[in-house]
Amino acid sequence: MDLTALFKASYGLYVVSSKNADGKECGCVINTFTQVTAEPVQAIIAIHKDNVTTGAILESGLFAVTPFTQQADMKLIGRFGFRSSRDIEKFDGVASSVDQNGIRYLTECTAACYSCRVVNKIDVGTHYLFVASIENAEILSSDEVMTYAYYHAVKKGLTPPKASSYQPKQASKPAAPVEGKKKTFRCDVCGYTVEADNLPADYVCPVCKKGREHFVEVTE
């Protein structure tokens, strides 16, 4: 079975955010947010059980969803998609606002905001499906939203291991040496690329903060 065929299905790239009982604000990237009914207006998300954001949703019963626009860069995507709320405050230093339920949401490079209240939870193994009523929706930008296909093809991003569409990474073919041309190295965690003659041993990925051992030379 060719699992890459699943990339042909239509997905978006979203930040889902929530707040736990202690007031900690958290958020992560998902690619599964779908409206399921019109009356009442309801949507469904899939989110990994181990995410900090999942615990906050379980405690509060509330979350917000914001779709990325094509203007979002890998540093911003990586902040929410490849780093944990256990380690950093996700909303520090980025543009954000708070919805009517007190849930902070990203306003930087996002197209809309959907304020949601959980009405049902389904256990599907590694993930929970949360069915929620959309209590408010607003447009934040007229820019084109980022599809998951655009993220892979244009941003050259990879799929986080906790994503519902994650596929085990395959080894990259080393680049053939070209005289006078720098090598291209790609992070095998988040997909960030850098051109250099060689990467120093203490090099750290600016997107996911992984070390030099996660960079492989690739053919562009």
Say what the pLDDT of residue 169 is: 55
Say what the pLDDT of residue 156 is: 81
Say what the pLDDT of residue 62 is: 98
Torsion, Cα of 26, 105, 206, 194 (10° steps)? 140
pTM of the model: 0.81
Which token pair is 1? 């079975």
Say what the pLDDT of residue 9 is: 74
* Interatomic CA distance for residues 97 and 64, integer angstroms: 11
Domains observed in the chain: 11-153 (2.30.110.10), 169-220 (2.20.28.10)
- Give the closest residue to 54 by CA, choosing from 73, 26, 75, 76: 26
Say what the pLDDT of residue 194 is: 87
Say what the pLDDT of residue 90 is: 94
Q: What is the mean pLDDT of each run of 10 residues along the chain (220 residues)?
A: 72 95 95 94 96 97 98 93 91 97 98 98 97 97 93 81 58 48 83 87 88 81
Using DSSP's 3-state secondary structure scheme, residue 131 falls into strand
